């Protein structure tokens, strides 16, 4: 995947993760893209170790793994910021 694909996937995953998990998260389009990209990497890592296969391109499975990783990332942020 090219860098533009990662940014688009990150934006979509970040927006959907924030929609799934509303609350006090860091805002802004750049932060949303970063959360989505890092969530995609985290979701791909977790998915690979759970036996769901590797992420090779922009498809539904990649998007779902990225959204799942972004949701996990936002949950961790909420747990750490609530202290």
pLDDT for 30-60, tens place per residue? 777 788 788 878 887 888 888 876 667 777 8
Phi, psi of 57 (to 5 degrees): -170, -170
Q: Is the pLDDT of residue 12 over 80?
A: yes
Domain residue extents for the chain: 3-81
> How many C-beta atoms surround the C-beta of residue 50 within 10 A?
9
Q: DSSP class of residue 51?
A: T
Give the rounded percent of residues in the chain with a pLDDT score beyond 70.
86
Tallying the residues shown for the chain, one arrives at 83
What pTM, to 2 d.p., does this model score? Answer: 0.78
Q: What phi and psi, each to the nearest 5 degrees, are found at residue 6? A: -65, -40
């Amino acid at each position: 995947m090219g860098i533009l694909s990662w940014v688009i996937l990150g934006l979509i995953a970040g927006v959907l993760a924030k929609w799934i998990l509303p609350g006090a998260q860091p805002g802004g389009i750049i932060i949303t893209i970063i959360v989505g990209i890092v969530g995609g990497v985290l979701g791909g890592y977790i998915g690979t170790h759970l036996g769901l296969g590797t992420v090779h391109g922009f498809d539904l499975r990649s998007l779902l793994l990225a959204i799942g990783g972004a949701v996990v990332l936002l949950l961790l942020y909420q747990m750490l910021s609530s202290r």
